[in-house]
Amino acid sequence: MARIATVFGATGIQGGAVVRTLLKDGTFTPRAVTRNANSDAARALAAQGAEVVEANLGDYEAVKKAVTGAEVVFGVTIPDFTGAGATEYDQGKNMVDAAKETGVRFFVWSSLTDFTKLSGGKYSSPVFDGKARVDDYLLASGVPHSVLLTGGFLENWTRSNWPGQPQLTENGEIALRTIYLPGTTGIVSWIGHDMGPCVLALIKQYDAGKLNEVNGQKYVMGTERYTIEDNFRKIEEGNDPRAAMVRETAPKCMARTDTPFQIYVLKEFPWYPDMTIPDPRLIAMGVKFGTVEEFVRTELKSHLGL
C-alpha cells in the first residue's frame, strides 16, 4: 500500500519543490493539492506520478479529504491580498485540525517570523504574522511536526511581478531597484533548490524513528544572512562583466501590502537573530544548501539573457 504525503500548494514554488523531491526519492507518493486540478502545472505533476487533488484551503471538508489517508503532510498557505478569502491563519488552522482529526503522523509547516512579536507591536504583517500564529496552534494541537522558517525568496529576482527584480537595460547595464533601506540585513532562501531536500530530510528523521529529535523544532531554511549591499555585489560579480550595475535604493511599499514592514522592520529587527544561517541541524541531516552565487550564475544570468 502506498505511503501518502499530502503536499499543499503543489503548483506553487514551495509545494512544487516538495513534490519533485518526493517523486525523485520514491519513499512516499505525493498527493499534490491545488486549487485547479486541470491547470497545466497540475497535469504535469500527474504525468510525473503525483496524485493530484483539488481543494480550497478555506474549505475545511476539502482540506480534510486531501489529508485523509496521508501519513505525512507539508503545509503552506496562500496569501489573500484581496481580503475576500480565508486568512493565512484560517488556512493553516484548517490543515492542522484536519491532520489531527485524520491521524496524520508528521506535519512539516512552512512559516515566517512574527513581526508583531519581534517588534513589540510596532509593526505587523498579515502575511508574516498569520503564518506565525499557526506555529503556536500547531504546537498546541499535539500533532507531531517541524517548522521550516523561510527568508526572502531568491526566485523573486526572476519573477516578473516583483518590484525588486533586476532588469537589463538597452545599454547592457543591470538596473536593480530595491524596496529596502541601505544596510538592511535579511535572509534569503532558494526555495526551488532547498525546500524539497529540507522537507525530505525532516520526513526521513521521522521515518527513521527519530521523531523525538525533530518534533516541535523550528529550522531556518535560509541560504545566508545578507545585506542589501551584498546582494548588489553578488549580482554584479555573477554576471557578464560588461553589465555594470545601476544601484538604486527606493524605499517604497509593495503594492500588495498595506504595512511598511517591508521597508522599515527589517532594518530595525533582523529575521531570526539568534539562529545560525544556514541551519547546521539541517546540514547535519544531509541538506546541501545552494548559494546566492550559484543562483546568480545558473538562474539569474540566463533570466537576464547574459
Per-position pLDDT tens, the chain of length 306: 789 999 999 999 999 999 999 999 999 999 999 999 999 999 999 999 999 999 999 999 999 999 999 999 999 998 876 555 799 999 999 999 999 999 999 999 999 999 888 888 888 888 889 999 999 999 999 999 999 999 989 998 888 666 667 888 787 778 777 767 778 888 999 999 999 999 999 999 999 999 999 999 999 999 999 888 888 888 878 876 665 666 655 544 343 443 455 567 778 888 898 999 999 999 999 999 999 999 999 999 888 888
Q: What is the pLDDT of residue 207?
A: 97
> Do the Cβ atoms of 162 and 201 come closer than 8 Å?
no
The CATH number assigned to the domain with range 4-303 reads 3.40.50.720
Please give the DSSP secondary-structure letter assigned to residue 71. S
What is the pairing mode between strands 185-189 and 224-227? antiparallel
3-state helix, strand, coil in the chain (%, to 5): 40, 20, 40
Domain residue limits, the chain: 4-303
For residue 56, the Cα-to-chain-centroid distance in whole angstroms is 19
pTM comes to 0.92
Helix axes 13-25, 40-48, angle to 10 degrees: 10
Helices 60-67, 88-102: inter-axial angle, 10-degree rounding: 50
| Phi, psi for 103 (deg, rounded to 5) | 80, 30
CA 47 to chain centre: 24
Q: What is the pLDDT of residue 249?
A: 53
Q: What is the distance between the alpha carbons of residues 151 and 177, in angstroms, rounded to a whole number?
A: 19
Specify the pLDDT at position 255.
39
